[in-house]
Structure 1
Amino acid sequence: MGVLEGRVAIVTGAARGVGAGIARAFAKEGARVVVVDLDEEGAAGVVAELTPYAEALALRCDIRDSAQVDACVASVVARFGSVDVLVNNAIDAVSARFEETTDDELDRVLDTGPKATLYFMRACFAHLRDSGYGGRVINLRSGSEPQGLAGFGAYVASKAAVAGLTRVAAREWGRHGITVNNLAPFVLSEGARSYFDERPEELEKIILKTMSVPRLGDAEHDVGRAAVYLAGPDASYVTGVTLSVDGGGSFFS
């Protein structure tokens, strides 16, 4: 029996990358996983991978729209009866120099970052509170915050805001049996790969050479397993923290 047997987990942005890796790790530990993404085809493909291990469901949701988020969570509860774990992974990351960042780019990153994170947490609160396992929220943070990574001003601001929401929710929701933590991984998303493909010297000299374990992380076996820990029974006394899964590339104080 897996350590997440019986739990219902929502993972946003899970059609690919880190979200898909977390979904795979959860399913292999027995969780029923809801793959939330705008990419219906990609989400369905991940669900097909998960079903040999556990029941899974793909849901399309524009996380910028709080009404769609509420409807998404309601659909999960109608299907599975509860929400025990929420992973806020999805974000529309953009890269642009600080002075060249447009209003639209800033809105996109903030709408899909802290605002969507709050929407999902708010929609899931009552179900997490009533979870028989103890509710778990895992928000995705980034090592780009302490690094002040050039070219990602809006993204860094968005992730810093998510970290603030995590701290407040950890304070408020701990009394309801809900833990709220951050994961800060280093796995190259498609967007990040595109950025570094144009700047290979930055990946090698600025990032890989600053890491204590100089390799790229694996979405399932590195990040997903860390998420399993935070979602499972061994982390019931851990809240309000940031767990870096980035080979020692960043240290959060």
Structure 2
Amino acid sequence: MKFKDKTILVTGGAGGIGKGIVTALAKQGARVAFFDINEDKGKATEEEINEITECMFVKVNLMDKDDLIAGFNKVIDNYSTIHGLVNCAQASKNVSFMDTTEAEFELSFGTGFWPTFHLMKLSYPHLKENQGTIVNFASGAGLEGMPTQTSYAAAKEAIRGISRVAATEWGQDNININIICPIAESEGVRAWRERMPEAYDKMVNEIPLKRLGDCEQDIGRVVAFYLSEEAKFITGQTIMVDGGSVKLR
């Protein structure tokens, strides 16, 4: 129970990779608070996780800064502090570069980059006091420049950029910050598989390990490791949890 008596905040925790992270952390003893805009899924996940450990769901519209701040304050009011932050949530639309408009950037940055930035700043005093940890999420889409991913890649690379800067500046406070780039069999990917099975099979066949990651076992447990004391000498790094698809140099 490596996270006994520790509180970790996760964004996008009602489903997919976010729920996998919440579940993995709960099984290792953490008190977990999570944000999501989907109230029905959020309440269902909260009820499920409360069977394992103490859990708090807060409905938050990540694109509304005031709502984000209010949600964070609810977590602090309930738990007094946090020991870890996981910025997982992200929404985007896949369109070609020439068809990308400011609206796509507003969605990608509004659900991914800006909430990550604001929550890092809000969390800083608590993480400094607790020598805590941040795990942010980026993507191979940004590293590889994947087609139709203009706004998504831009937001994810912006997250990597601020994560590295904060890792440098906050190292003296014993706050470590790392970035994970996953590939996982989320609900969205399964729905895509139903619509486009040939494209799905092609993607899987191009992964050296020939499968997608499990949201809890493969992604959630890696996040748990980087939040743990075992990883306290690792900071500012981008970690590919993608079956070997992207090999950083």
TM-score (norm 1): 0.93
Task: Give the Cα separation in 2 of the matches to 1:156 and 1:188.
Answer: 20
Corresponding residue for residue 174 of structure 1: 171
How many residues are aligned here? 249
Which blocks of at least 5 consecutive residues in structure 2 are unaligned?
none
Corresponding residue for residue 122 of structure 2: 123
From 179, 182, 201, give the equivalent of 1:185: 182
Q: CA deviation at 1:167?
A: 0.4
Q: CA deviation at 1:198?
A: 4.4
Corresponding residue for residue 15 of structure 2: 16
Corresponding residue for residue 93 of structure 1: 92
CA contact (8 A) 2:21 2:215 kept: yes
CA RMSD, Structure 1 to Structure 2 (Å): 1.5
Corresponding residue for residue 237 of structure 1: 233
Q: What percent identity do the matched residue pairs reach?
A: 32
Code of the residue aligned with 2:218 in structure 1: it is D
Task: Give the Cα separation in 1 of the matches to 2:20 and 2:34.
Answer: 11
The secondary structure found in structure 2 opposite 1:130 is: helix
Written as runs of structure 1 = structure 2, the 5 A alignment for 1:103-122 is 103-122=102-121
Corresponding residue for residue 223 of structure 2: 227
Task: Provide, for residues 15-57 of structure 1, a one-character-per-residue CA deviation record: whole Å limited to 9, x for no partner.
Answer: 1000000000000101000121011111111111111221000
Task: Give the Cα separation in 1 of the matches to 2:199 and 2:89.
Answer: 25
The secondary structure found in structure 1 opposite 2:98 is: helix
Task: Provide, for residues 55-95 of structure 1, a one-character-per-residue CA deviation record: whole Å limited to 9, x for no partner.
Answer: 00000111122222222121111111111110001111211
Task: Give the Cα separation in 1 of the matches to 2:70 and 2:121.
Answer: 12
Code of the residue aligned with 2:127 in structure 1: it is L
Alignment pair present for 1:146 and 2:146: no
Code of the residue aligned with 1:235 in structure 2: it is A
Q: CA deviation at 1:98?
A: 1.2
TM-score (norm 2): 0.95
Corresponding residue for residue 81 of structure 2: 82
From 205, 211, 214, give the equivalent of 2:210: 214
Please identify, of 13-22 and 99-108, the stretch whose mean Cα deviation from structure 2 is larger: 99-108
The secondary structure found in structure 2 opposite 1:183 is: strand
The secondary structure found in structure 1 opposite 2:211 is: coil
Alignment pair present for 1:158 and 2:143: no
The 4+ residue runs of structure 1 with deviation greater than 6 A are none
Task: Give the Cα separation in 2 of the matches to 1:101 and 1:192.
Answer: 22
Code of the residue aligned with 2:228 in structure 1: it is G
CA contact (8 A) 1:30 1:54 kept: yes
Query: Against the structure 1 CA distance between its residues 188 and 151, is the aligned structure 2 distance closer, same or farther, given a 3 Å change threshold?
Result: farther
Q: CA deviation at 1:190?
A: 4.1
Corresponding residue for residue 57 of structure 2: 58
Q: CA deviation at 1:189?
A: 3.9
Task: Give the Cα separation in 2 of the matches to 1:247 and 1:31.
Answer: 27
Corresponding residue for residue 48 of structure 1: 47
Query: Against the structure 1 CA distance between its residues 10 and 27, is the aligned structure 2 distance closer, same or farther, given a 3 Å change threshold?
Result: same
Which blocks of at least 5 consecutive residues in structure 1 are unaligned?
none
The secondary structure found in structure 2 opposite 1:184 is: strand
Task: Give the Cα separation in 2 of the matches to 1:127 and 1:67.
Answer: 20
